[in-house]
Amino acid sequence: MQVKETSVTVLEEAEAYLAGSYCDHRLAPEDKTEAVDFRHRQIELGGSGFNFLQYGSRVSVSSRFDDFYMLEMPVAGGVDITFGTESIRSEPGKALILSPGPRFHSHWRAGTQQWMLQIDRRLIEETLRRTARRGRVSDPIFNPVIDLNTLHGQRLASVLRDFSEVFATSIDVIKPETIQAAIGSVIDQLLRNVAFTSAFSIVPERLHASPRHVKQAMDSLRARYAERLLVPAIAQEVGVSERALYDGFQAYYQRTPHEMLTRIRMEAARRLIREEGLPAAQAARNVGVHHLGRFSATYKDTFGVLPSADARRDH
């Protein structure tokens, strides 16, 4: 292991460096000047790595990850990112976990500095298979925003701080198993505490138990999605206030109860359309949606294709 350091002031040089070190990157200055104060320090850890990165000025970045996850924690400033269909924001107190797959577009604010832990996707896949005791897994796509005020957020921040101190240390004295244990701790915290989706389901799941009222509400949404469900009634059934139910879903799924219900309905509708050949209108009614135009728009937002095109694809 060794610490690598790079500093450039020309944007094109930074772009070429990132493309060669990580993956395809497209950089553009937001202040219409190519002058940047690009600084990067890196410790390579096999297929993983720990990084300190800054651009200095405001910069737009377009890229995607294929072979790794990236846990980003701002030390100063922050980043606004469009990731898949989501618009998210990092700032001190909030970290992001970006998953392989969707292309993202980010806007680094002036003066932003970040610690960034690159995690080999194979490590997460292997840990998920072992932890969830599943024979078949697909790469999880994590809900991207992590509140660093939560217990698991504090633990993740502590590990990143420990990694940052390595920059000032002779890393020859650090045992590889210590590094491996630290990355394993991060992966465990992510999988147990951050909701994720997979290729098998668009409905977020969590490996760690949710509070009783959140679990009961989720069980009800999954079992009764075809009914006319109202959040106040669900809250009353599980014995909490409507506010407490919303707060619970936001804390454990980063989604409202209605958003979770919509995902459950869209997933069920897709099965009816693709596997049973139902027309879109019938599938919509069967999952509890009675406005076909709204159903089609939501379906396209969710899967990137209209229900009629999805049916033609498979039948």
Domain boundary among 170, 201, 232: 201
Q: What is the DSSP string of 230-288?
A: -HHHHHHHHTS-HHHHHHHHHHHHSS-HHHHHHHHHHHHHHHHHHHS---HHHHHHHTT
- The answer on 301 and 265 residing in a single domain is yes
Quote the tokens at residue 5: 């350091």
Domain boundary among 167, 201, 235: 201
- The answer on 31 and 163 residing in a single domain is yes
Question: Rounded to whole angstroms, how far apart are CA atoms 151 and 314?
Answer: 45
**CATH no. for residue 307?**
1.10.10.60
Q: What are phi and psi of 188, to 5 degrees?
A: -65, -45
Q: For the segment 108-139, what is each residue's pLDDT rounded down to a tens digit?
A: 999 999 999 999 999 999 999 888 777 677 88
Extract the residue ranges of the chain whose pLDDT is less than 50: 315
The amino acid present at 252, given as its one-letter code, is Y
DSSP 8-state secondary structure symbol assigned to residue 109? P
Question: Rounded to whole angstroms, how far apart are CA atoms 19 and 202?
Answer: 31
- The answer on 134 and 46 residing in a single domain is yes
Q: What is the pLDDT of residue 66?
A: 85
- The answer on 216 and 182 residing in a single domain is no
Q: Which domain holds residue 228?
A: 209-314
Q: Structurally, how many domains does the chain consist of?
A: 2
Q: For the segment 87-98, what is each residue's pLDDT rounded down to a tens digit?
A: 888 888 999 999
- The answer on 182 and 64 residing in a single domain is yes
Q: What is the pLDDT of residue 170?
A: 64
- CA neighbor of 33 nearest in space, from 1, 2, 57, 68: 57
Domain boundary among 184, 201, 218: 201
Strand ranges (E), the chain: 3-10, 25-29, 35-45, 48-54, 59-63, 68-76, 79-83, 86-90, 94-98, 104-108, 113-120, 141-142, 145-147, 196-198, 201-205
Q: What is the pLDDT of residue 297?
A: 93
